[in-house]
Amino acid sequence: MTESDWKTFKKIKEIAIEKFCTLSLAEFREAMDDESVHIHNRYLLNYKLVQNRDKQMALLFDEHSRSKASLQLLAIRGEGLADEVLIRKLSEEFLRETDPKNHNW
């Protein structure tokens, strides 16, 4: 991985974490605000949502290293969390390697 790709990846990952958290919080808020569901069931649903999102976050973003960058970017792109402007700054090789379409994502 080139130094330029690594620097761009770090920015992509930072923005992707923000998007992921924003989407997660909106999902939690929607579950909490659904007054057609009993309050206890909303609590239980939110508990499960938080657990699931926490697992997903760990898979997408934990272990920040160059050796994991390709796999993480593949997952980030596959989940639609990558900033497309920054993606275009990556080298052709890194783009191909992390393109979800090339991995049947």
Tens of pLDDT along 56-89? 999 999 999 999 999 999 999 999 999 999 999 9
DSSP 8-class letter at 103: G
Residue 1 predicted with pLDDT over 90 = no
The Cα–Cα gap between 86 and 5 comes to: 10
Model confidence, pTM = 0.89
The Cα–Cα gap between 74 and 84 comes to: 13
pLDDT single digits (tens) 7-48:
999 999 999 999 999 999 999 999 999 999 999 999 999 999
Question: How many CA atoms lie less than 13 Å away from 10 in the CB half-sphere?
Answer: 9
The number of distinct structural domains making up the chain is 1
The structure tokens listed for 84 are 């497309």
User: Which residues constitute the domain of residue 39?
Assistant: 3-103
pLDDT at position 34: 96
Banded model confidence at residue 105, pLDDT cuts 50, 70, 90: confident
The structure tokens listed for 83 are 């900033």
